[in-house]
Each structure stands twice: as C-alpha cells, then as structure tokens.
C-alpha cells in the first residue's frame, strides 16, 4: 500500500451528478480508494442531515459541513464555528424588512423564518432534501452554522456592506450562503489535518463551485470538475472531466491515486 492520503470531495456537481445521483464509476472508485487504505472525506456546503444517506452508502465518517463551520473526524465532532448571534439577529431583521427570507441551519436540520416563499422552493428544491420547517425564532435558542439568505446577486450587496462579520457565497440565482467571516472549506480541512497529522502533500480535494475556490487554492493536490465554475478551474492544480463523464474516476487516475 502506498502512503496513506486523504481525499476531500464536494457533493453537488462533484460526487453527485446533475440529477443528484451518485455515478456508478464514482462509487466504485471510492471503494477502491478505501481498499488501498486511503481516507475518503467530504467537504460540502450542505449540513450533515442532508447527506447522511450518502455517507452511509460510501462508508464515510470524516466530513467538513457548512463550508467548514462544522467538522467531524471519524465520527467525532472536532470543530464548531457558529454565526455570531447579534449580527444574525440584525441580518434577520433587515432581511424581513426587504421581504428576503432567511433559513437557519444546524447539524440536525433547517428552519425558515417565513412559512412559504417561491425563492425558497425554487432553490432548495434543487438539492432534493425536502423543504425547511417553519420556525422563525429557531436561531434564538440554537447554534446556527450557516444561514441562507434569499435574494438576487444585485440585492446582496447591501448585506455585504452592512455585515462585515459575515462572508456571503452565492450558490443559486436567488440564494446565498451566509458564513462567519473567514470561514471556508479550506479552514475546515485545516481542522481535520490538525487532528490526523498527515503531510500536506498527501491531501487531495475535488470540487466544482465558487465555495470550493479557497479549498482548491490551498490544498496541494486540487482537482476541479470539468463542469465546474471557471473560477474553480482556475484555482485548481488539475481539471478533470465532467461529473457526467466519470470525472471522479478520471481525476483520481490523473493524480495517481488509482
């Protein structure tokens, strides 16, 4: 067996194709990685509850959730970085005044501050994880690791200017992730590496989106999907084929892991 490496995979557009399905070639490639003794991990903007079935199917117990704000290594929570309460309260009030819904996310679920809104339905439906529960005060009694703000890119600027405590990372035409300032998948991966103590040359990452750019920039062996955003491709050391063209298998062969 070669020296053990760890490979972090984004989910949407990377592990899962555009139909939110796991390609057979990807599942087989991950099984082969594990057979070779490597560690397979996830780095995603999703919350743990959104991909529990995928983790179980692939036998993965190390994962970076909410773009680095909630990290688990071998089934143990090792890092939690929630949003600042006072700033989140102000954001909620400002958003309500603009008819921009807010969705609060923790490891167990997602709760919205409005009962129903077309922007929530349009964007969340693409994830195929069900719609959020209506609970407008959920953030008052629970640690929130990521918030979704529903507005257009043009409308988002007012929040960026007003809330320096947060980073805003767009993932959909009508929705943006709201994270603690400086929070990223790259930071979450750093927390994992502090625990596992693997050399940086043994770290790999695959991604496709804007929230993968920092991860692809900082991880030594980074691979962007052929279907990825141009910014992701520019940040990565390698570019593989599309997720629909066995991109994970091709990329793992490209970097010499398979």
Q: Residues 200-235, buried b or exposed e (16+ Cβ, 10 A)? A: eebbbbbbbbbbbbbbbbbbebbbbbbbbbeebbeb
The side-by-side arrangement of strands in the sheet containing 63-65 is 76-80, 70-73, 63-65, 39-43, 6-9, 203-207, 221-224, 238-239
Which residue, among 47, 28, 34, 31, has the nearest Cα to 6 in the 3D structure?
34
CA dihedral 197, 199, 200, 206 (to 10 degrees): -80
Strands of the chain, DSSP E? 6-9, 39-43, 63-65, 70-73, 76-80, 102-106, 109-112, 133-134, 146-149, 166-172, 175-180, 203-207, 221-224, 238-239
Active site (annotated) includes residue 10: yes
Q: Which of 10, 12, 119, 167 is catalytic?
A: 10
Classify strands 76-80 and 133-134 as parallel, antiparallel or unpaired: unpaired
Residue with tokens 């804007």: 210
Contact 179, 169 (CB under 8 A): yes
Task: Confirm if 128 and 97 have CB atoms less than 8 A apart.
Answer: no
Alpha carbon distance 127, 135 (integer Å): 20
Query: In this structure, are residues 162 and 83 in contact, taking their beta carbons and an 8 Å threshold?
Result: no
Q: Catalytic residue positions?
A: 10
């Amino acid at each position: 067996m070669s020296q053990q490496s760890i490979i972090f995979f984004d989910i949407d557009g990377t592990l899962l194709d555009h139909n939110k399905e796991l390609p057979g070639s990807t599942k087989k490639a991950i099984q082969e990685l594990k057979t070779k003794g490597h560690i397979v991990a996830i780095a995603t903007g999703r919350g743990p509850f959104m991909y529990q079935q995928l983790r179980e199917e692939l036998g993965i117990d190390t994962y970076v959730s909410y773009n680095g704000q909630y990290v688990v290594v071998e089934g143990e929570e090792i890092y939690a970085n929630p949003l600042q309460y006072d700033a989140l309260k102000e954001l909620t009030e400002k958003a309500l005044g603009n008819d921009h819904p807010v969705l609060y996310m923790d490891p167990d679920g997602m709760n919205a501050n409005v009962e129903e809104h077309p922007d929530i339905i349009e964007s969340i439906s693409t994830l195929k994880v069900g719609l959020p529960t209506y609970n407008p005060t959920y953030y008052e009694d629970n640690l929130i690791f990521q918030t979704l703000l529903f507005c257009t890119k043009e409308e988002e600027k007012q929040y960026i200017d007003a809330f320096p405590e947060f980073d805003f990372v767009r993932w959909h035409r009508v929705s943006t992730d709201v994270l603690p300032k400086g929070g990223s998948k790259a930071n979450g991966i750093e927390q994992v590496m502090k625990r596992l103590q693997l050399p940086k040359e043994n770290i790999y990452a695959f991604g496709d989106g804007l929230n993968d750019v920092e991860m692809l920039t900082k991880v030594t062996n980074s691979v962007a999907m052929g279907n990825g955003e141009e910014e992701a491709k520019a940040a990565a050391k390698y570019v593989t084929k599309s997720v629909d063209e066995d991109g994970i298998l091709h990329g793992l062969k490209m970097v010499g892991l398979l």
